[in-house]
Structure 1
Amino acid sequence: MELNAPEQELSRFRARVAVAGVFVLICFGLLVARFVYLQIVKHDYYSTRAEENRISLVPIVPNRGLIVDRNGVILARNYSAYTLEITPSKVRNLEATIDELGEVIDIQAKDRKRFKKLLDESRNFESLPIRNRLSDEEVARFIAHRYRFPGVEIKARLFRQYPHGELGSHALGYIGRINKREAEQIEEDEDRAANYRGTEHIGKTGLEQSYEKYLHGITGFEQVEVDAAGRAVRGLSRTPPVPGDNLVLTLDAELQRIAEDAFGSRRGALVAIEPGTGGVLALVSKPTFDPNLFVDGIDPQNWGALNTSPDKPLLHRAIYSAYPPGSTFKPFMALAALMTGKRTPTQAISDPGYFVFGNNTFRDDKKGGHGSVDMVKSIVVSCDTYYYMLANDMGIDLLSSSIGQFGFGSRTGIDIEGEAEGILPSPAWKKRRFKKPEQQKWYAGETISIGIGQGYNAYTPLQMAHAMATVAAGGVMYKPHIVRYIEDARSGARTVVEPTPIKTIPIQKEHLDVIFKGLVEVNKWGTGARAFAKAEYTAAGKTGTAQVYSLKGAKYEASKIHETLRDHALYIAFAPAEAPKIALAVIVENGGFGAESAAPIARQILDYYLVGKRPAGPAPEQSGAESE
């Protein structure tokens, strides 16, 4: 066999070495290029990323602002307690883990249900409480078994507390855990998203909701150096949080308590306002509820009880529910008649006990009528026939526009959300309300019942109190507000909520004097006389009764009607009549005559506010009072 020449073998070897050398050079070139790219070109980027991995920003949640009444009584505060929390994303078998935890810490069925509800509303990487307010013994017991429960830890958290329980709950509102919808809304606002990092609760209703941006405060941050496993090594710097502002209210907590107690077990609402400022002194909706139930996430049992109760304790009746005003509407009708020239104070009618319009007979509550009735007497004896005739003479357009200037059928702009508009009837409203052309037409006969506060009329207790406060203030209408001033928790600086006049209704003094006289005499010898016997002040008021359903001509007998179908009882007032300091509206659902149920509640409120007299118990449910 012929052997290759040594020169050829050497040439081939050199060629292979050259190729290998070039390949190695290319590889080293690539490595050098990559090194240059990483170390020089991308130096700043990767240096920042490394620093971010080394340093973690931990949000520090600020203390939520306090809520106190006008006299400094604390209505909402914070306290610190330990919670047992689970991060679902770090737990392999959630149910098994909870079962094992139950062997160490007492976890009841209601805790499990609440946790499940929170889990459904939250993201699975969030830490969720399975037990709140652990005792020191429970904390020590868990720490001894902590190694068994990855993804479970104890945290010290600030809890919101409403120390007076149900008192003023509809006005105060409550806080609860941030749900998915709220989290998405927060994320849409970059500044707000940064301020809510680490925050798990937010105002849901009432003042807690409407003043959330003041109460929340500004989140602080702590720079912490961490190791590769994410464990904190040391703190580097700290930006302390700024606590939320405190709210000081116009509400009087003791007056609120007396008002709520005065209702007893009855359903209804009460609003009391300072006529000269618009400050709300009491805002009652009965029955009420305990806002503390919502702070940790309400358990299904309590939620079911509140949500399915026929008494609707979560309904804010004072600002959301609209009721027919009944005879409390008549003083405003009388004032509108004077202002439009449709009546004079001395102009009288002869009341036969009914008013005939077309083929319909509208009856007065007093058989045989009240005889000769002028304007003052029409208010005192609550003469329906007088106002049937007045409504017919005014017509719906003039009636609606005249009554509307007192705020009926319009939101007042009070500083909590959820206010209803109510219904001020008019042809335009009816066209918007109904779809069928035959339903949209306004019939002249419909105007008659509007004049006595029935028919389509429907207003909130807040609107009624607001209108009464406007009359008491001589026609100056102030925007109702519950917050008196906002106080900086650190400096004590105050941002005062100044009384804001919405408008001034041009009411002549002689016209006001006529209405005042009628309202005062209601409580002297009219329908409010029994409730205000021996009062130490002069109160101007008007009782009212509003039908819940039509009797179709039958006689009203409360004992033969289901309780929920009985008439509502109403009362509006201001006092002292010479220089009004307080105006209010009371409604007792299905309470019957206003003189029986609503006026005695108002008497207790005015007695306490004006002369410091405390009631011995709930307002009595009187019987045998005159109807109105």
Structure 2
Amino acid sequence: MFSRQRTHIRNNTAESNLFTRRAIIAFFGVCVLVGILLINLYNIQVNSHESYQTRANGNRIKLIPTPPNRGVIFDRNGVILAENRPVHSLELVAEQIKDIKKTVASIAEIIALSEEAKQRFFKSVKAQRRFKSVVLKSRLTAEEVAKISVQLHRLPGVKIEARLKRYYPFGESLTHVMGYVGRITRKEQQAIIDKEQEAIYAATRDIGKQGIEKYYQELLHGKPGYKEVEVNNRGRIFRVLNEQLPEHGQDLYLNIDINIQQKAYEALAGRRGSVVALDPNNGAVLAMVSSPSYDPNLFVHGISSKEYKKLLSPDKPLINRATQGAYPPASTIKQLMALVALEENIVTEHTSIDDPGWYQLPNVKRKFKDHLAWGHGKVDVYKAMAKSCDTYFYDIAYRLGIDKISSFMYQFGFGEYTGVDIHEEKSAIMPSRGWKRARHNQPWYVGDTISLGIGQSYWTATPLQLAKSTAIVATSGEVFTPQILGASQGELGLLQIPADDSQPVVLKQHKHWRIAQKGMWDVVNDPGGTAYNVFKSANYVSAGKTGTAQVIGMAEDEEYDETKIAERHRDNAMYVGYAPYINPEIAVSVTIENAGGGGSNAAPIAKIIFDEYMNNRTLSFDNKLTTVNQQVEQINGQQ
């Protein structure tokens, strides 16, 4: 039986039509894709050309910020107090050196290299790109620079780089005024970011830490420049395309007279204390010394932990005693107590009392002692100031009361910041009823007021406050904010800083100023005055007030014996004064911790300061007595 075989007849027409349709669809798809590609190419090449070119240049062109030179600081006479000096470092470029270990060994034969420096260098080389330089040794001495320089021809890849670093030529004598610069910390970087000043500090490594350097950081810093450079994909610089130079920071001219400053520092001779000198006519700070001090140059390059620990001694050299030291003002405020008593009609210039050597409150057994056990006899306001009679001022304080004393003394700046242009300052304490209740949760007692009359009790003041209050008395009520900066030199030329005057202290009777001034004159010029022996040889006329501040309390029947008291518990020596007596030009406060009597210890330092200031315009010995008599007549006439 035969099987039937089916035959399939191909439809060539249908297959051709199918192929054609598929080809058309494929062609159309290719055209669409090509169209999309062309559109994207057009968008990239034409529409987004500038954007992609900027991105490409961003990978090819870099902006490298360059730091500005910090402004130089001068004293009032143009003497440099802070400058920028080149500091040399030895650097190596790894890719230019065949055997880096051998090169380092060769350098070690020329100059001394510590093992620590070598290890730090090799570690940095591994982490750094080979075409970038790595510091082997910083702060080369002049001798080391010379030794390396003559050998550079046989040391490929080795170079000496110079950078400017801050330098303070007068060292520790000016530290607490100038402050210092140091490397920026993370906290300071965050503050810069918060203030949106990142661009200004982009290339800056150091920033002002204290004193004038910190207070006027923005003036001193300047504006950074930049270099526009072309780099490859590995960051290597091929060429510099453009460069904009940085703007130098402003130069500052301080009111400080470096000669007076150094005289004051030398006079303190390392003893704990301070000296402040002001121009009473505008508040200019002529000198501000705190002792002991330290060398600010130690902080510029980064102080070691060993060196820093030395500064944490009990003498506290890091503290600015002139603005942060709070001391009982003692008898240096007795002329002010006389003023408030005169204003409140508690006394007149003729009021006198009998001083038996002690003062006793009504119905109270305790006796408040005078520094002179047998007393001063009959005492008026002039003699009370000249001989520093405690009893007279005990009585004044008792009759005035705390409220009148406190409110009056606030006018002279006690208990408040002076506003001096450095950040390191304390307000100290001008006590009141409210202050004692808030601080100690206790009422104010009459005994507190009695001690306040001689500048003890809870009353504390900074040496700067004492100098300011003395300047107010010297000018009969003119009040100026102490100012360290005198002028700045910038793009607009020399800009003088105007005096910052405040509301003057106005008394009910102007002659009360003359009474207080005459009392201070007696301290210095009357043979019975507590500073007479110090100033009797001076060929100028000054006025002042001595002070001896108790550091610890004494029992009523206990006698002060310096030999039996620990050195740090002994009295502080103090002095305030101004010169010349007529038309004063300088007001001074001197504080020496635990030195004893103010007349014998602090007053001589004040005289050194006055001598330095007055040496070009002093009176001859022959004319001194005549001038003194003329001034006394002038005072009497004004009264």
Q: TM-score range by the shorter chain?
A: 0.7 to 0.9
Spell out, residue by residue over 1:546-568, the C-alpha distance to the aligned partner (whole angstroms, 9 max, x if none): 11111233221111111111111
Distance 1:311 1:613 in 2: 38
Among candidates 583, 592, 613, match of residue 588 of structure 1: 592
Name the residue aligned to 2:331: 327
State the distance in 2 between where 1:154 and 1:564 align.
51
Query: Residues 34-68 of structure 1: CA distance to partner in whole angstroms, max 9, x if unpaired?
Result: 43443344322212112222222122222211111
* Pairs within 5 Å for 1:196-595: 196-306=201-311, 308-357=312-361, 358-434=364-440, 439-488=441-490, 493-507=493-507, 508-523=509-524, 524=526, 525-553=528-556, 554-595=558-599
CA drift at 1:360:
3.1
Q: Distance in 1 between matches of 2:461 and 2:534?
A: 24
Question: C-alpha separation between the residues in 2 aligned to 1:293 and 1:346?
Answer: 58
Alignment match, 1:156: 162
For 1:91, the equivalent position in structure 2 comes to: none
Q: Any idea what SS the aligned residue of 2:318 has?
A: coil
Q: Tell whether the 8 Å contact from 2:73 to 2:83 is kept in structure 1 after alignment.
A: yes
Q: Is the 8 A contact 2:481 2:500 kept in 1?
A: yes
Question: Which string of whole-angstrom CA distances, capped at 9 and with x for unpartnered residues, describes residues 170-216 of structure 1?
Answer: 101111111111111112233x2212111111111111111111111
Instruction: Name which of structure 1's ranges 154-163 and 410-419 shifts more when overlaid on structure 2.
Output: 154-163
Secondary structure in 1 aligned to 2:240? strand
Name the % identity: 40
Distance in 2 of aligned mates of 1:256 and 1:45: 61
List gaps (5 residues or longer) in structure 1: 88-95, 116-124, 615-628
Aligned partners of 2:437 and 2:267: how far apart in 1?
A: 41
1:184 partnered with 2:187: no
Superimposed CA distance per residue, residues 348-376 of structure 1 (whole angstroms, 9 cap, x where no aligned partner): 11222222233432111222322211101
Bigger mean CA offset, 442-451 vs 502-511 = 502-511
The answer to whether the 8 A contact 2:290-2:320 is kept is yes
Instruction: Look up the SS of the partner of 2:401 in the other structure.
Output: helix
Q: Determine the C-alpha separation between the residues in 1 that align with 2:425 and 2:576.
A: 20
In 2, Cα distance between equivalents of 1:110 and 1:477: 57
Structure 2 CA distance for partners of 1:100 and 1:174, relative to 1, 3 Å: farther
- Are the equivalent residues in 1 in contact too, given 2:91–2:133 (CA < 8 A)? no
Shift of 1:130: 5.9
The alignment partner of 2:412 has SS state of coil
* Pairwise CA distance, 1:600: 1.0
Give, in whole Å, the separation in 2 of the partners of 1:259 and 1:72.
Answer: 19
Whether contact under 8 Å (1:110, 1:300) holds in the other structure is no
State whether residues 464 and 585 of structure 1, in contact with CA within 8 Å, keep that contact through their aligned partners in structure 2.
yes
Of 407-416 and 353-362, the range deviating more from structure 2: 353-362
> Size of the alignment, in residue pairs?
586
Counterpart AA for 2:207: I
CA distance in 2, matches of 1:332, 1:109: 64
1:165 aligns with 2:171: yes
Q: Does 1:58 align with 2:64?
A: yes
Query: 1:108 Cα deviation (Å)?
Result: 4.6
1:182 is paired with a residue of what secondary structure?
helix
Contact 1:607/1:613 (8 A) holds in 2:
no
Unmatched tracts of structure 2, length 5 or more? 94-100, 122-131, 619-639
RMSD (CA atoms) = 3.4
Structure 1 residues 362 and 140, CA gap change in structure 2 (3 angstroms): same
Report if the CA contact (8 A) 1:114-1:299 is conserved: no
In 2, Cα distance between the equivalents of 1:3 and 1:226? 76
- Say if 1:76 and 1:162, in contact at 8 Å, map to a contact too: yes
Cα 1:41–1:419 shift into 2, 3 Å = same
Match among 68, 81, 85 for residue 79 of structure 1:
85
The code of the aligned residue for 2:399 comes to: D
Is the contact between residue 251 and residue 482 of structure 1 (CA under 8 Å) also seen in structure 2? yes
Aligned partners of 1:181, 1:2: CA distance in 2, in Å? 95
Q: State the SS of the aligned residue for 1:457.
A: coil
Is the Cα–Cα contact under 8 Å of residues 89 and 135 in structure 2 kept in the other structure? no
Q: Give the counterpart letter for 1:442 in structure 2.
A: W
Give the 3-state SS of the residue equivalent to 1:80 in structure 2: strand
Q: Structure 2: how far apart are the matches of 1:318 and 1:239? A: 43
Q: Is the contact made by 1:270 and 1:584 (CA closer than 8 Å) also made in structure 2?
A: yes
Tell me how far apart the structure 2 counterparts of residues 267 and 381 of structure 1 sit (CA, whole Å). Answer: 26
Q: CA separation of 1:367/1:23 partners in 2, compared to 1, >3 Å: closer, same or farther?
A: same
Moved more, 193-202 or 459-468: 193-202
- CA distances 1:568-625 after superposition (whole Å, capped 9, x unpaired): 11000111112211110000011111112111111111111112599xxxxxxxxxxx
Structure 1 residues 114 and 345, CA, compared in 2 at 3 Å: closer, same or farther? farther
CA distance in 2, matches of 1:126, 1:462: 50
Given that residues 118 and 136 in structure 2 are in contact (C-alpha distance below 8 angstroms), is that contact kept between their aligned partners in structure 1? no
2:550 maps to amino acid: Q
Cα deviation 1:311-346 (Å, max 9, x = unaligned): 111110001111100111211100111122221111
Cα distance 1:261–1:100, how it changes in 2: closer, same or farther (>3 A)? Answer: same
